[in-house]
Amino acid sequence: MIMPLIKGLQITISHMFKKPVTLQYPTERPDVKPGFRGLHALNVSHDKAKCVACYLCPTVCPAKCITVEAGEDQNHDKYAAKYEIDMLRCIFCGYCVEACPVDAIRMTEEFELANYTRADFTYTKDRLLEKK
Amino acid sequence: MVNLTIDGKQVAVEKDATIYDAAKACGIKIPILCHDKKLHPFGGCRMCLVEVEQMKGRLIPACTTPVTEGMIVQTTTDEIVKARKLVLELLLLKHPIDCPVCDAAGDCDLQNLTYEYKVNMNRFVDEKFNHEIDYENPLIERDMNRCIHCGKCARICDEIVSYGAYTFINRGIEAKMGTEFDGPLNCEFCGSCVSVCPVGALNSRPFKFKARWWALQKTKSVCSYCGTGCQLTLGTKDGKVLTTIYDENQGFHNGQLCTRGRFGYQFVNSDKRLTAPLVRRNGKLQEATWEEALAEVTSRLAAGKSDPASVAALATARLTNEELFLFGKLFRGTIGTDNIDHSAGYAHEALTKGAVASFGVAASPAEIADVQKSSLLLVVKSDAYETHPVVGFEINLGVKRKGVALRIVSDKKGKLTRLPGAKTTVHAPGNEVALFNALCKSVIDQGLAAEGVAGLDALKAAVADATAEKAGVSAEEIAAIAKEFASAEKALIILPIGQGYPGHNAALANAAANLAILTGQYGKEGAGLLIMGEKNNSQGAVDMGIYPKGTGLNAAAIIDGCASGNVKTLFVAGENPVVSYPNRKKVEKALENVEFMVVSDLFLTETAAMADVVLPAVSFAEKSGTFTSLGRRVQNVRKAIPAIGLAKSDFEILNTISQALGGARYNNQGEVFTEIAASVPAYKGLTQAGLKDEGAVYPVALTAKLVPAAAKAAAPVAGKLALVTGSALYHCGTMSRFGEGPMYVCPDAYAELNVADAAALKIAEGDQVTVTSGTGAVQVAAKVGKRVPQGVVFSPYHFGEGSVNTITDGAEVTYVSVAKK
């Protein structure tokens, strides 16, 4: 009867001298592992978004949170006149990244996405481009 | 029938079938890139290679090899798959893999086959093409880097459209699909080439980058421009019509469309659409609620019930049968006025008076299917191609494939006159009736009249002095046409009618019918008289009785009534009399004078701008119902998108008014069709569900009668040019002005002159000219060519600015003077 109790306390006390497993967030920052799927970012090449508005990401998106509208630029090329992600709907599955044929979208390590208004969760093309 | 075995399946097919056809018949799919069921076999792409037991040792192209008795065919062996993979590898060697930005992706034969045959490696390496992309023309983008040289564009343009805009140029690896002098494309812009392109080498510019193929919702419907009744598939997304989709299995025309059908859909989502009712307050049209607007309309119409003669109504032949039926019921039944009409009153007379007198039915005796089955076509005016381009394609096919002889009697030349073997008789403008009378006389004189035709003596007397000279044509030509027509196995007269053709009236229909009846060329397949209504539901409007039946006023009399004050309330459903009725000034004055005018329309047209109440109506894409096209085919129109803004269909508008006035009320438009089927004899037994995708041609029982037609003598005025009006190829009525496609190609009114006249008047192509008649003067751009004969000017009637009705007054020919501005 007493032995199991002592054994239990032994484990408890031993932990008092070990490094804690919890992270003292936000003073301590987590070490984000490679392959983490955080906030999206649109890749840039030659000062232009790489996105060619092929609509594969909105097509594959299971949460239907991506809105793309294609436009025609001066060289008659296709570009995303509008690229929006509704972060409230996004399930961070990463299919958009996987589907992209031109490596135009990636997922960053950013995970602190809390905000104050609903509108703040609509990430427009400009906001997605900010983090290069 | 020939029996053969394909992949172990026994199949029996016609002896002129190919292996490809036979495989298709028994449900085996053979991949193709260069083959199209509408075109002659080409055998260029080598995708359809199959193995034939009797021809072992090599692979045989299925699309060009005719079947033989006892043939044993294998369509998928390892060797065949290997060969097909090689073909794809070689095509992909030069093809830029830019599927992400190519609008064809998802609907691309090359992409689909690459996926199906798992061609994910290429053992060859080569540079891609670096051809310049044609962005010059407004409707078709040509990126020859993507071309796989199937040649379908060139073949369809040649075989069906008969334009010939494309051909292969250069040799070997440098071979490419070229245009005239390898310059930018400049053609009719029917877009047939875009529709058959298996890859994204030819793209529709208005649809460029608008949506991906798989995101489009597809709705089968019927085109709302001309009376041909072409079926089309609308590609819609988010409540917008974005494109028309090619479906080779649709309609008699196998998915073929003209410029307006393929590129003219933008009027549906135009920014200019009316989205809320407008009511005139203090002399200005202001937005109002539906309740306010309809209350005003119903109170006026209710007041009109006590004096029905003061109420008049004009409808456009673009409404559905259901709407037109309700329109007739509301005004004729509930309000009790017979003052209803459509299409300016004269544009339907060939049916409502001409065909009734000659054949006993207010419908076209022949149907479209007769065109290719005929052995001789006699086309009245080369404009038949401009008014009904897809019927024009049928004529092309008849002439080129079936060996149909083509005779044209016209006041100008045109595309039809250039077809192989076509013989054109150019007569002086306005002499159509005289010409047909001369033909009848010639038939009688040559003893070619069919035996036992009733009323022959009366006709003989009537045409006794109808000489060829009176028609302005040589006697030999008349005699030759009369002889050919009478002795042809099956001869068909094609008569387009419309608001641009005041001369194509009851008398001309009678005169043409006389020729058919006299020679016995009617009542059988491939023969008779095909009267081609101008608008999508011209035949339906006649069937629904939208014209004065008793003592009511016709359209011209309604306009006069408005001017004199006898008509106090005018209801206009979709018509635009200011631009499309003769004598614009008179019409404007009359409409200003009428006490109360309500217009329901898609746009604030010239007429709607003068109204007291404007009700926003919907286009064909936003409503369901039926249209009856020329040749009496009743077809389903299906709603593809929700109504724009607060707009309501004319059915809803008329239904609400009808109920408020104590008339009938229907729960949906389907109920109206049931009533149509019960009360219109020709539609007996038809149901909307029963019409399915292909529609139904209602039968007619002809009671032929010779009706002498009096020819009005056209009296040329010395020193003046004869103005003839009509339709431009890219436009139909006044609605196509709101479609971007047609406006890119043909944006402004013009007057077409002969080179000799232009030289005499010192006018060059593109000059602004003033055309003056006794009625008024108008300024338009000049077009100079050899199409119109000397002494004749042609001007299309569709445009609001520089509208030709400013100078016409309903006569067949208007004599005008033309001067450089």
d(CA B156, CA B688): 34
Could you report the per-residue pLDDT of B573-605, keeping only the tens digit for each?
Answer: 999 999 999 999 999 999 999 999 999 999 999
Query: Residue A20's pLDDT band (boundaries 50, 70, 90)?
Result: confident
CATH number of the structural domain B349-534:
3.40.228.10
Query: Residue B68's pLDDT band (boundaries 50, 70, 90)?
Result: very high
Tokens (6 digits) for B345: 């009153």
In a domain, A38, yes or no: yes
Cβ proximity of B475 and B439 under 8 Å = no
Percent share of chain B, pLDDT over 70: 100
Query: Does residue B715 sit at the A interface (CB-CB below 8 Å)?
Result: no
Query: Residue A132's pLDDT band (boundaries 50, 70, 90)?
Result: low
pLDDT at B718: 86
Mean pLDDT of B410-417: 94
A interface mutation test: which of B103, B134, B209, B240 has the most A CBs within 10 A?
B209
Cα(first)–Cα(last) distance of chain A, in Å?
63
pLDDT at B559: 96
Distances (CA, A) of B58 to B72, B116, B417: 14, 23, 46
Enumerate residues 6+ apart whose C-beta is below 8 A from B736. Answer: B225, B260, B264, B267, B730, B742, B743, B798
A104 or B714: which carries more pLDDT confidence? A104
In a domain, A52, yes or no: yes
d(CA B49, CA B30): 8
Query: Residue B400's pLDDT band (boundaries 50, 70, 90)?
Result: very high
Dihedral over alpha carbons B448, B453, B455, B460 (to 10 degrees): 10
In a domain, A98, yes or no: yes
d(CA B731, CA B11): 47
Q: Which CATH fold topology does B2-76 show?
A: Ubiquitin-like (UB roll) (3.10.20)
Q: Which CATH fold topology does B129-267 show?
A: Alpha-Beta Plaits (3.30.70)
Residue of B100, B133, B208 with shortest CB distance to A54:
B100
Residue A111 sits in which domain range?
A: 30-130
pLDDT at B470: 87
Contacts of A56 in chain B (CB under 8 A): 100
Percent share of chain B, pLDDT over 90: 95
Could you report the per-residue pLDDT of B525-564, keeping only the tens digit for each?
Answer: 999 999 999 999 999 999 999 999 999 999 999 999 999 9
Residue of B nearest to A77 (CA): B101
Print the SS3 string covering B148-198.
CCCCHHHHHHHHCCCCCCCEEECCHHHCEEECHHHCCCCCCCCCHHHHHCC
Query: Does residue B208 sit at the A interface (CB-CB below 8 Å)?
Result: yes
pLDDT at B610: 96
Smallest Cα distance from B134 to chain A, Å:
11
Q: B378-388: string of b/e by CB count within 10 Å (b at 16+)?
A: bbbbbbbbbbb
pLDDT at B585: 95
Smallest Cα distance from A36 to chain B, Å:
27
CB contact under 8 A, B212 and A72: no
Query: Residue B283's pLDDT band (boundaries 50, 70, 90)?
Result: very high
What pTM, to 2 d.p., does this model score?
A: 0.93
Residue of B nearest to A59 (CA): B215
Whether pLDDT at B686 is above 90: yes
Smallest Cα distance from A49 to chain B, Å:
14
B interface mutation test: which of A48, A52, A55 has the most B CBs within 10 A?
A55
CATH class of B278-343+540-683: alpha beta
Query: Does residue A130 sit at the B interface (CB-CB below 8 Å)?
Result: no
The three-class DSSP label of residue B421 is coil
Could you report the per-residue pLDDT of B426-481, keeping only the tens digit for each?
Answer: 999 999 999 999 999 999 999 999 988 888 999 999 999 998 888 889 999 999 99
Angle at B604 between CA B770 and CA B726, to 5 degrees: 40
Distances (CA, A) of B147 to B103, B109, B163: 14, 12, 20
Q: Would you give the DSSP letter of residue B214?
A: G
pLDDT at B715: 80
Point out which residues pair with B426 in neighbouring strands. B410
Q: For chain B, give the mean pLDDT.
A: 94
CB contact under 8 A, B215 and A101: no
Mean pLDDT of B363-375: 96
Tell the residue number behind the tokens 């045109």, with chain if given. Answer: B414
In a domain, A22, yes or no: no
pLDDT at B759: 95
Whether pLDDT at A130 is above 80: no
What does residue B376 show for φ and ψ, rounded to 5 degrees?
Answer: -145, 130
Mean pLDDT of B775-799: 95
Residue of B99, B208, B212 with shortest CB distance to A72:
B208
Query: Residue A131's pLDDT band (boundaries 50, 70, 90)?
Result: low
Whether pLDDT at B713 is above 90: no
Phi-psi region of B154 (alpha: psi -120 to 50; beta: other; left: phi over 0): alpha
Instruction: Indicate the number of domains in chain A.
Output: 1
Could you report the per-residue pLDDT of B738-777, keeping only the tens digit for each?
Answer: 999 999 999 999 999 999 999 999 999 999 999 999 999 9
Residue of A nearest to B136 (CA): A76
Asked if CATH classification 3.60.9.10 holds for the domain at B721-820, the reply, yes or no, is no
Angle at B378 between CA B373 and CA B380, to 5 degrees: 130
CA proximity to B534, closest of B572, B491, B504, B493: B504
State the ipTM, two decimals.
0.84
Smallest Cα distance from B127 to chain A, Å:
21
Q: What is the CATH number of the domain that holds A116?
A: 3.30.70.3270
Mean pLDDT of A4-16: 93
Tokens (6 digits) for A8: 């239990």
CA torsion sign for B354, B355, B357, B362 is negative
In a domain, A19, yes or no: no
| Alpha helical stretches, state H, A1-132 | 2-15, 56-60, 95-99, 125-130
Could you report the per-residue pLDDT of B629-652, keeping only the tens digit for each?
Answer: 999 999 999 999 999 999 999 999
